[in-house]
């Protein structure tokens, strides 16, 4: 997890703690200059997890961007799992806004 900024890990931990009291709020963080994370609760048992990336290509899934990005995504997923949150099997391409590609998946909350 050494590729994930401490501020992002802290935000995920705060999200997990908020789940325990039933009041989770949106998580936002910058993982790299070209990769941002946003987790938004969408119901009592789900949350949307969106990655925004600036890149010349938009492969079908975020992990198709390469091993370094995969390492970061795996680290985020592992941290979510420590809170009982189940990540999706893949974060799929949904749209491009400007020059930023969006990849999304649904998290299953405990």
Span 14-43, pLDDT tens digits: 999 999 998 899 999 999 999 999 999 999
- Tens-digit pLDDT profile for residues 59-74: 999 999 989 999 999 9
Residue 89 has pLDDT above 80, yes or no: yes
Question: Among residues of the chain, what percentage have pLDDT more than 90?
Answer: 90
Residue 5 Cα distances to 40, 92, 99, angstroms: 19, 23, 24
Q: Considering its fold, how many domains does the chain have in total?
A: 1
Range of the domain at 57: 6-108
Helices (H), 1-110: 6-21, 67-81
* 15 within a domain of the structure (yes/no): yes
* 66 within a domain of the structure (yes/no): yes
Average pLDDT, integer, range 93-107:
96
| pLDDT for the residue 33 | 94
């Amino acid at each position: 997890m050494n590729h994930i900024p401490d501020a992002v890990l802290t935000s995920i931990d705060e999200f997990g703690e908020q789940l325990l009291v039933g009041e989770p709020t949106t998580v936002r963080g910058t993982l790299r200059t070209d990769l941002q994370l946003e987790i938004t609760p969408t119901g009592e048992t789900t949350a949307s997890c969106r990655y925004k990336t600036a890149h010349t290509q938009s492969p079908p899934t975020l992990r198709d961007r390469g091993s370094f990005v995969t390492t970061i995504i795996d680290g985020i997923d592992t941290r979510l799992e420590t809170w009982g949150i189940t990540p999706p099997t893949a974060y799929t391409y949904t749209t491009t806004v400007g020059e930023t590609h969006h990849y999304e998946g649904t998290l299953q909350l405990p």
